[in-house]
Amino acid sequence: MNKRAIILVLDSVGIGEMPDAADFGDSGSNTLKHIYEILPGFSLPNLESLGLGAIQDTGLAIVADKQTGAYGKMAEVSSGKDTTTGHWEMAGIQLSKAFKTYPNGFDEEIINEFTAKSGYGILCNKPMSGTEVIKIFGEEHRRTKKLIVYTSADSVFQIAAHEETIPLDELYRVCEVARKILDKHHVSRVIARPFIGTSPGNFTRTPNRRDFAMVPFEKTMLDHIKDAGLEVAGVGKIGDIFAERGLTKNVHTVSNDDGIDKTLAFMKEVQNGLIFTNLVDFDMLYGHRNNVNGYADALKGFDERLPEILQAMNEQDLLLITADHGCDPTTSSTDHSREYVPLLVYKKGIRPTDLGIRSTFSDLGQTVIDYLDVNPMKNGTSFLSQIL
Among 296, 262, 353, 279, CA closest to 38: 296
- At 61, the pLDDT band (50, 70, 90 cuts) reads low
Which residues contact residue 24 at a Cβ distance below 8 angstroms, ignoring those fewer than 6 apart? 81, 337, 338
On the question of pLDDT at 37 being above 90, the answer is yes
Count CB-CB contacts under 10 A for residue 29: 25
The one-letter amino acid code at 54 reads A
Give the separation between CA 213 and CA 244, rounded to whole angstroms. Answer: 9
Across 352-378, b (16+ Cβ under 10 Å) vs e yields bbebeebebbbbbbbbbbbbbebeebe
| Start-end of CATH 3.30.70.1250 domains in the chain | 108-213
Contact between 370 and 382 under an 8 Å Cβ cutoff? The reply is: yes
Using DSSP's 3-state secondary structure scheme, residue 258 falls into helix
- What DSSP string runs through 167-185? -HHHHHHHHHHHHHHHGGG
On the question of pLDDT at 33 being above 90, the answer is yes
On the question of pLDDT at 186 being above 70, the answer is yes
Give the separation between CA 283 and CA 290, rounded to whole angstroms. Answer: 10
For 95-147, the pLDDT digits (tens) are 988 899 999 999 999 999 999 999 999 999 999 989 999 999 999 999 999 99
The pairing of strands 341-346 and 317-322 is antiparallel
Which residues contact residue 170 at a Cβ distance below 8 angstroms, ignoring those fewer than 6 apart? none
The one-letter amino acid code at 355 reads L
Minimum mean pLDDT range among 37-41, 291-295, 368-372: 37-41
Domain 4-97+216-387 is of which CATH architecture? Answer: 3-Layer(aba) Sandwich (3.40)
Q: What mean pLDDT is predicted for residues 283-303?
A: 96
| Start-end of CATH 3.40.720.10 domains in the chain | 4-97+216-387
Q: How many helices (H) and strands (E) does the chain have?
A: 13, 14
Does this model's pTM top 0.85? My answer is yes
- At 153, the pLDDT band (50, 70, 90 cuts) reads confident
Give the separation between CA 240 and CA 189, rounded to whole angstroms. Answer: 9
Q: What mean pLDDT is predicted for residues 270-278?
A: 97
CATH number of 108-213: 3.30.70.1250
What does each C-alpha distance from 293 to 26, 127, 282, 298 come to in angstroms? Answer: 21, 25, 11, 9
The secondary structure element, H or E, covering residue 50 is helix 45-50
What does each C-alpha distance from 21 to 30, 214, 273, 356 come to in angstroms? Answer: 11, 25, 35, 20
pLDDT at residue 64, as a whole number? 65
